[in-house]
Structure 1
């Protein structure tokens, strides 16, 4: 199975291009003709193996365009005649060239070639349509989950996103980091559901977060502001869709100069704190409800405050990681795996995690996966947040 494409520091999308076929498929017509040539001298006169060339246009249509397939069809017809009239081929004479059986073979090859040319043309159009869809999806992901800088003030930041669907590019998992006068504010979330509705919900949340992160004085107010935006957007929907537009999320605020980490959890898996090889969950059991469900509870958001020293790393992730399964059905033990790796440089943690997830699941991820890490640089305090665009 093909490896899933990680989105670690995703680059801007390239121009549309057709997906490349495997090399063996492009060379398949050559292998097919070579096989026919190898069999021809070994068969009796009554078994004209050259008739197998009737299928050559269909073989070429798997990986080549209509012009190439039409050329292969003409080649197959001529080559059938060459084999039929070659005396050295099992004692056949030139008189076989216009035998009615061979004429029938020429006609069949031409018909099969015409159908294969149409098939190749249709396949090429479908591939161009798929390339256009991928191009648009890449642009949407670039806008929705814009690449994060490696450094935001005194923090080192890294992220990745992997879609469970091999051909997909975007989904309902999200993350963002915004430097503000209150500190660096981060969010990671997971939208309930899949498809375009999930993408639209993620876009709504990220838009609200990017704006409110600069304006709200504390994390509970920030979470409430995003909650209000989500609820207002949900009111525009009708039917059962309203109940499906909730998001689990974690909001974090890091004030590097004060070496403080603040967290508001809205029904999401708790982040991990990694310090000198020690790994622990930053959860107190007081998680709030998912966003867009807070009005059902009516309680204020709770803030957890933790020390965040130079060299500490925080790992925020979606439940696609902890719900990754091995072939025997066992869930991925995130805390135990990260603890077993020992201290890792900041840039290597997510790379190790990504490859370990694929190995653990045997390349069979069943849910989207997103992760975000933040590390307080050992040599700096608050630093300058102006290195981030829009700061």
Structure 2
């Protein structure tokens, strides 16, 4: 049976492809109605609508062709009914020609606006991707996969971040989300990522890493003025997976709880105590809570940002990744993330309104064979 999302996608493609015929349909309908009805009925509305429709949907050449066709059909029918020599006929033809010329201008304005917007989107995404690392497919006994799906709107970019690196203390991972949008959010991403990369190699505990990130974000916050000082904090989850053993450690700073998948079961790794996001230590006591959880061979840890759980269907229901992944087996982290993205897109009918960063880590064995 064809999946519902596949059927909807096919319908959308069919609709968009046939929508381009709308100017032709409008012209044909106008000519037919104009010819079949009373000579005093004018199809001017159809003749002006056709080039404007083409301006919105088609290329410059097609818009020009639609305008010329509208003028030609109007001229032919005015001649047929004997109105071309009168002032009314000439005024009608002049109106159709004027609107056709205006449609060409509109087409060019829309084109250049689209070009500028697409350029801004490419630059924005390139800037954000520049500060996010390319993760290896495997580190020791761990297989990793990452997906970043942007919900670009008006050329704005979000503040989702992720990282994973091998350190003397184990494989350390980070998934987080900056409060805010645009370039200011990217600045905070850069600060947070830089602090994490350095601290992950030097700090012996996750609490130490969180403390380094906290201080870096506080320094960045002190440079801000006005309303921007209230943004720039980061919700995030820090993970440490030792090179040997069957457990992992987590520090959760106000972020959605990761999921642990093993043997068809899905468990939410909720923090033992809630904590403020990174960058807000001045609002409360800076006490890190590190939770230790089992992570046996065959288990997968799924880290994600709230763009996943805030995806809603037309009824307003949020997507629940735990319910969608229960009682299912996956070949690895890549298969898991591909399935997850397909399911959330199907749930939201393709209307993803927030960025999503997904990081999955699967343990294949209890120990790394060799570390370099």
Q: TM-score range with shorter-chain normalisation?
A: 0.7 to 0.9
**Alignment pair present for 1:83 and 2:69:** no
Match 1:257 to one of 227, 237, 244: 244
**1:16 counterpart residue number:** none
Over the residues paired in the alignment, what is the CA RMSD in angstroms? 3.0
Mean alpha-carbon deviation: is it higher for 270-279 or for 256-265?
256-265
The structure-2 alpha-carbon separation of the partners of 1:343 and 1:83, relative to structure 1 and needing over 3 Å to count, comes to: same
How far did residue 221 of structure 1 move?
1.7
**2:23 counterpart residue number:** 29
* CA deviation map 1:21-59 (0-9, x unaligned): 943343322222222343344223333547732433222
> Which structure 2 residues correspond to residues 164-203 of structure 1 after superposition, within 5 A?
170-203=157-190
**Alignment pair present for 1:138 and 2:138:** no
Task: Name the TM-score, length of structure 2 as normaliser.
Answer: 0.83
* CA deviation map 1:354-387 (0-9, x unaligned): 2333344444555443321100125x8425677x
Contact 1:188 1:317 in 2 (8 A): yes
Contact 1:57 1:69 in 2 (8 A): yes
**1:301 counterpart residue number:** 288
Contact 1:155 1:256 in 2 (8 A): no
Aligned pairs, how many? 358
How far did residue 136 of structure 1 move?
0.8
The structure-2 alpha-carbon separation of the partners of 1:253 and 1:293, relative to structure 1 and needing over 3 Å to count, comes to: same
The structure-2 alpha-carbon separation of the partners of 1:135 and 1:195, relative to structure 1 and needing over 3 Å to count, comes to: closer
Runs of 5+ unmatched residues, structure 2: 6-14
Partner secondary structure for residue 148 of structure 2: strand
Contact 1:273 1:282 in 2 (8 A): yes
Partner secondary structure for residue 245 of structure 2: coil
Match 2:330 to one of 335, 344, 350: 344
Distance in 1, Cα, partners of 2:219 & 2:196: 14
> Which structure 2 residues correspond to residues 26-65 of structure 1 after superposition, within 5 A?
26-49=20-43, 52-65=46-59
**Alignment pair present for 1:238 and 2:225:** yes
Partner secondary structure for residue 255 of structure 2: coil
| Structure ranking higher on relative contact order (CA contacts 8 Å, 6+ apart) | 1
Mean alpha-carbon deviation: is it higher for 230-239 or for 255-264?
255-264
Task: Name the TM-score, length of structure 1 as normaliser.
Answer: 0.79
Contact 2:120 2:155 in 1 (8 A): no
Distance in 1, Cα, partners of 2:369 & 2:154: 40
**2:206 counterpart residue number:** 219
Mean alpha-carbon deviation: is it higher for 368-377 or for 315-324?
315-324
**Alignment pair present for 1:127 and 2:121:** no
